[in-house]
Structure 1
Amino acid sequence: MRVSIFFILLFISCKSLEKKQNDFEKSIDTLIIWHQQDFKKDSVYGISLNKWYNKNYKKIRNKIIVATIDSQIDINHEDLKNHFWTNNGEIPDNGIDDDNNGYIDDINGWNFIGVGDNSIQAFTNFDFVRIIKKYKNDFKDLDSIQLQSKQSYTEYRRALKKYKEDKKYYERYLKEEGVLISAYYPAKDTLKYYFPKENYTSEQLDSLYQLYKINDERFVDKVNNYDASKKAFSDLIYYMRMIKRYNFTIESMKNSSQHKDSIVNKLLNLDYNDREKIKNNHLEKGYGNNNLSSHDRLKKHNTKVSSILIGNRNNNKGVKGFHDNIYIMPLVISPFGDEHDKDIANAIYYAVDNGAKVINMSFSKEFSLNQEIVSQALQYAEKRNVLVVHTSGNASSNIDLTPFYPTDFSYINNTELTQNLITVGSISKRIDSTLVTPFSNYGKNNVDIFAPGEDIYVAIPDNQYAYDSGTSLAAPMVSGTAALIWLYYPDLTVQEVKKIILESGVSIDKKVIKPGTKNEMVSFSELCKSGKVLNTYNAMKMAERISRKKNH
């Protein structure tokens, strides 16, 4: 079997967008932190944070807490440490819920997918798998015509369609990747006949492939270790030239295969119980553990997100966050798979009850088994004057038509449920028709505003830094702006802060390429509710005017 172009495109697309910064000693002042720049001065649609610091910054004593509902985090990172929320009502590591909030030893936050005292539930089902598991017996033998009007049946059918597509997709991927892995060493050994030093290039392999693809037997006679029962030599050349062309290594292929094996056998597995080991999961709250940094592979995402918010502004390295008086409350809900709605809701309640003013949610999913409990938590946050900021997602989709969760929008009734949630799309530093990043979701009704989300300089675990891209990084731009507003103007309501952020943005009066298309041009204003990109400087000036008016 030949590995198709499907495999190549999928393998490349699954590679991280992260680009590591190798010169870690380089001063932060020499790095291009474009997202904090200003359009008039720098010709990029940055958020103009540098402009605000240059013209308006004054020291304050206020502090503000931003909860990041996300993955685990590198709590000891040099650019983040000393900027984490501390629960002063809790005595560390005494095994007692000293402040009676339902969580034992929650010193800096909580891990809702914690297992035992120190571990984590690393793999969970996709939510469409959970929907199938819940409803498959209910709808198995019933007449579908009678069920067309039932929302649960409609969602079950949508989930089943997605399940079948993904299962076929990843099983094929896994099989084709297995072919490359199995061919690697036979191809490597066989090619020593022509290249004893193994110094061949993909171009040389192309030439050799053309020479021997018609008649393998002529070469077989000359290669003693060739096993004709397995693969023709032209096939081995074909696989090795593919490996060389895309700079694959046996290690990267094995890691990728292991990754996709987890998708097939855990995330897509209808028999996999992803809550079996979580401590006290039957409780409404208090399940999980207080370990925020136990899993090396699962602490990268929140480290990136949080560094945009709280990167130390005074250590002359790493990332300059929004303000040194912002403190992060890490709340862990994100595994490899989809987040449980129960965990999302409980994390929102925890954040609100423990003093967070802004909640950043840099995750999204296409299905929601229990969205109603998340909606109730969002309403709880709104009543307590807490802003929630959510990423739009990275599927190049119109989320007015294709649901993405969590959301403040009812796809059943087409109504907005709260006024305290901002959904954020991603822009690049390009100012032409490719302004909107091609991966970003969009929606005239369900995306509120766009913010920088491509080639963003962030912290990654182990005191390292990288450039990365995603709507996950656009969301904390808005969260940081909201936190900065409330640091200086704490009298504003959550509705006022949301209005300020949306109305103070920079209007984009041009046509851009719609995400998910090659060259379909649409007005930028058709991609989000405000028709604007975030501008922190403008937001702070507007907040100052509104606060002054309220107090005079």
Structure 2
Amino acid sequence: MKSQSLKYSYLILILIFSCKPTNVKLTDNTETDLKIWYHKDYKRDNIPGISLEKFLSKSKTLKSNNQIIVAVLDTQIDTNHEDLKSAIWVNTSEIPNNKIDDDKNGYIDDVNGWNFIGTKSGDYTVWGNFEYTRFVREYTPIFKDKRREEITQNDVRNYDEYLRALKYQDKWYVYYKNFLRSLKYRSSLYYTAKDTLKHYFPKEDYTIKQLDSMYTLHKINDKTFKERRDTDDRDFGALISIMKITIETENNSIEKLEDKKTQIDSITHKNVNIEYNERIFIGDNEKVLEKGYGNGKINSKLSGTRRLFGHSTKVSSIIAANRNNNIGIKGFSDNIKIMPLSISPSGDENDKDVSMAIRYAVDNGAKVINMSFMKEFSLHPEWVIEAMQYAEEHNVLLVHSSGNDSFSVDTNPAYPSDYYYDNKEEVCNNFINVGSISAKLDSTFVSSFSNYGKKNVDLFAPGDKIYSAVPENKYTFDSGTSLAGPMVSGAAALIWLYYPDLTVQEIKQIILDSGTAYDIEVLIPSEKGKKTHFRELSKTGKVLNVYNAMELAKKINKLKRSK
């Protein structure tokens, strides 16, 4: 389905107000400003934020009694967080914990959302395969040892993706296997190294430089250590090297070393293990789209499991943190409700879960769907495409974070996407892909980790050093395009709160057209010092601007009402 022209597109072009490129310079700001820099306005505050504060300060007479639901497709969430508990969506048609599908929507006890990766036992999935591992498992029986000329035209895409996935699988399985071996080796000798060095440093206050000097004393170097490591040589040089690495990577903490070993062990034996399949524990038919699998536990606290709900808590707080409790941070509006839909384990999201979560969000009243995840393979992209089109048919906006791989998504596959596999035809016109910018209006304006693309990234939003909520009533700074996406989701929700008659296509166009353009040369992520103009890294060449978007929405809405 090709992008459709908007009914009022000509008006949008006429009504675009001052978004001209500006030569900019960032000045020093207070710690408080830096915590909320992304809400600031460049012209008022000399900080390149999204101008949310400017809109709110000038709109005190503008009221909205509406509520709007933003579905967050993500990890589990801390529903009891002081800044979020009043913002969690409640399915009033469902009676809690009666094990009955009261509202007959296909999900039992979905009081606050749904966990699509909940297990049959009532637990939740911690580890999931990487998508390239799923791809190799799925297509090895079909394509193994086949030449391309033996493949039918209908299977060419899957065959090519299988070969690409096989390279990833081989590379990363070997990488994590060796990484785990190294961690086990360091763990086994840590206390020996610690006790040995205590003879020379009784207070255990040695530095990297001091440890380096010990090599000269014993006439051994890192190369020798690496050669001897595989023979489990416990000589003094090996012990020095172990302690150096532990100081550099884990701050000399055996607890951090053991935790890293546990994580890499799980990645090796689960994420990249073809023999491991998390769907066995979920208990669904992974080849069929269906309702009802999983469970309603979106904030599990089960013993013996890894709690995975920090990411969704951060994302959701940016959108809907309480604005009136004078603690933590402030979201876009207290009239926004978060619908938590858990699809993200430690691993890659499954296309079935993405598709079913989108459909759940649409069917249960969400107007905006935030998707702060990205993967480089997609086993069933057609399922996700159909769900995205279903959302457009029901006037629902999809906001997606472009990813943190520092590459162009025009030339590297990235999913989900609003383009078909050949990257030529758009599948829908209700999808916004968001890159990340920093607070520094210099060559590092585009976050070094952010994906970009003149064709496939629509615009940028703040995603660097963002202050947000984390579980257990805490807050922290973090960075990622995952935090830029919810800026756009919050903006879209705010527009719809005040102007509910606008269509999803109009909302998208308003957001894209009203952004701020900056006349600045920036470093291209991962291009080793190469620069380009900021406008070349996204379709619009702009940064989200809430104030401008609200002004433009007001004008478009007024014109529609006058018809």
Contact 2:243-2:252 within 8 A present in 1 as well = no
Paired amino acid for 1:243: T
What SS is found at the alignment partner of 1:450?
A: strand
CA contact (8 A) 1:83 1:310 kept: yes
Question: What residue in structure 1 maps to residue 13 of structure 2?
Answer: none
Q: Which residue of 1 aligns with 2:406?
A: 396
Structure 1 runs of 4+ with >4 Å offset? 27-31, 279-283
2:545 corresponds, among 517, 535, 541, to 535
User: 1:543, 1:537 → 2: CA distance?
Assistant: 10
Residue of structure 1 in register with 2:357 after alignment: 347
Read off the aligned partner of 1:433 and give its amino acid letter.
S
Match of 2:135 in 1: 131
Cα distance between partner residues in 2 of 1:374 and 1:111: 18
Once the two structures are TM-superposed, the CA of residue 43 in structure 1 deviates from its matched residue by: 2.0
SS at 2:341 equivalent? strand
Tell me: CA distance 1:266–1:245, structure 2 relative to 1, closer, same or farther (3 Å).
Answer: closer
Partner residue, 1:300: 310
Q: Which residue of 79, 104, 124 corresponds with 1:100?
A: 104
2:233 maps to 1:233: no
Q: Aligned letter for 1:53? A: L
**Contact 2:419/2:426, CA 8 A, preserved across alignment:** yes
Q: Structure 2 CA distance, aligned partners of 1:193 and 1:379?
A: 68
CA deviation profile, 1:263-294 (whole Å, cap 9, x unmatched) = 11101111112111214446711000000011
Match of 1:267 among 247, 266, 271: 271
Determine whether 1:494 maps to 2:504.
yes
Alignment partner, residue 523 of structure 2: 513
Alignment partners' CA distance in 1, 2:150 and 2:454: 34
Per-residue deviation, 1:299: 0.5
Q: For residues 229 and 61 of structure 1, do their structure 2 counterparts lie closer, same or farther at Cα, with a shift above 3 Å needed? A: closer
The one of 488, 492, 496 aligned to 1:478:
488
Equivalent residue for 1:164, pick from 146, 167, 170: 170
In the alignment, is the contact (CA less than 8 A) between 1:127 and 1:338 conserved in 2? Answer: yes
2:198 pairs with 1:188:
no
Aligned match of 2:262 in 233, 239, 258? 258
Contact in 2 for aligned 1:292/1:330 (Cα 8 Å): yes
CA deviation profile, 1:367-390 (whole Å, cap 9, x unmatched): 000000100000000011000000
Deviates further, 388-397 or 112-121: 112-121
Alpha-carbon distance, 1:85 to partner: 1.0
Q: How does 1:428-443 map to 2 (within 5 A)?
A: 428-443=438-453
Range 57-66 or range 337-346, more displaced: 57-66
The aligned counterpart of 2:5 is none
Q: Secondary structure of the equivalent of 1:474? A: helix
Change (3 A) 1:144 1:30: closer
The answer to whether the Cα contact below 8 Å between 2:136 and 2:165 also exists between their aligned partners in 1 is yes
- Which whole-Å CA distance do the structure 1 matches of 2:79 and 2:31 have between them? 21
Which residue is 1:244 aligned to? 247
Aligned-residue sequence identity (percent) comes to: 54
Any conservation in 2 of the 1:209–1:238 contact (CA below 8 Å)? no
Say whether 1:151 aligns with 2:157: yes
Residues 1:143 and 1:95: Cα distance change in structure 2 (over 3 Å): same
Q: 1:142 to 1:80 in 2, by over 3 A?
A: same
> 1:212-243 CA distances to partner (integer Å, 9 max, x unpaired)?
1359xxxxxxxxxxxx9832112211221332
Match of 2:67 in 1: 63
Normalization by structure 1: what TM-score? 0.90
User: 1:29, CA displacement in angstroms?
Assistant: 6.1
Contact 1:28–1:319 (CA under 8 A) maintained in structure 2: no
CA displacement, residues 425-479 of structure 1 (integer Å, 9 cap, x when unaligned): 0000010011000100011111000000000010000000000000000000000
* Aligned match of 1:504: 514
Select between 353-362 and 509-518 the one with higher mean Cα deviation: 509-518
Give the Cα separation in 1 of the matches to 2:419 and 2:284. Answer: 31
What amino acid sits opposite 1:80 in the alignment? L
Q: Which residue of 2 aligns with 1:50?
A: 53
Q: Which amino acid aligns with 1:114?
A: G
Counterpart of 1:284 (choices 270, 283, 290) is 290
Q: Give the whole-Å Cα distance in 2 for the aligned partners of 1:188 and 1:28.
A: 40
- Matching residue's letter, 1:37: K
Mapping 1:372-411, distance limit 5 Å: 372-411=382-421
User: Counterparts of 2:148 and 2:206 in 1: how far apart (Å)?
Assistant: 59
Cα distance in 2 for partners of 1:396, 1:241 equals 30
Q: Structure 2: how far apart are the matches of 1:28 and 1:398?
A: 33
C-alpha contact (below 8 Å) 1:29/1:316 kept by paired residues: no
CA contact (8 A) 2:87 2:336 kept: yes
Task: Return the offset for 1:130.
Answer: 1.0
1:348 to partner: Cα distance: 0.5
TM-score, structure 2 as length reference: 0.88
1:321 counterpart = 2:334: no
State the secondary structure of the residue aligned to 1:121: coil
Alignment deviations for residues 400-446 of structure 1 (CA, whole Å, 9 cap, x no partner) = 11111111111226210000000000000010011000100011111
Q: RMSD of the TM alignment (CA)?
A: 1.9
Of 498-507 and 149-158, more deviation after overlay is shown by 149-158
CA distance in 2 between counterparts of 1:163 and 1:148 reads: 24
Worse overlay, 298-307 or 49-58: 49-58
Cα distance change, pair 212–169 in 1 and its aligned pair in 2 (3 A): same
The amino acid across from 1:385 in the alignment is N
1:113 aligns with 2:117: yes
3-state SS, counterpart of residue 298 of structure 1: coil
Distance 2:87 2:175 in 1: 43
* More displaced 10-residue stretch of structure 1: 269-278 or 418-427: 269-278
**Contact 1:117/1:289 (8 A) holds in 2:** no
Indicate how the Cα distance of structure 1 residues 480 and 206 shifts in structure 2: closer, same or farther if over 3 A, else same: same
Consecutive unaligned residues of structure 2, counting only runs of 5 or more, are 1-29, 222-230
- 2:347 matched to which residue of 1? 337
Q: CA deviation at 1:204?
A: 2.1
How many residues align? The count is: 514
Per the alignment, do residues 426 and 31 of structure 1 end up closer, same or farther by CA in structure 2, a change over 3 Å counting? closer
Give the corresponding residue for 1:366: 376
Counterpart in the other structure of 1:451: 461
Counterpart Cα distance in 1 of 2:558 and 2:528: 47
Q: Which range moved further: 454-463 or 29-38?
A: 29-38
In structure 1, distance between residues paired with 2:356 and 2:34: 39
What is the match of residue 82 of structure 1? 86
2:209 partner amino acid:
E
Secondary structure of 1:114's aligned partner = coil
> Structure 1 stretch 199-208 or stretch 248-257: which is displaced more?
199-208
State the secondary structure of the residue aligned to 1:398.
coil
Does residue 72 of the first structure (1) align with residue 76 of the second (2)?
Answer: yes
Aligned to 1:37: 40
Deviates more, 1:275-284 or 1:471-480: 275-284
Distance 1:208 1:345, change over 3 A: same
1:79–1:31 distance in 2 versus 1, CA, 3 Å = farther
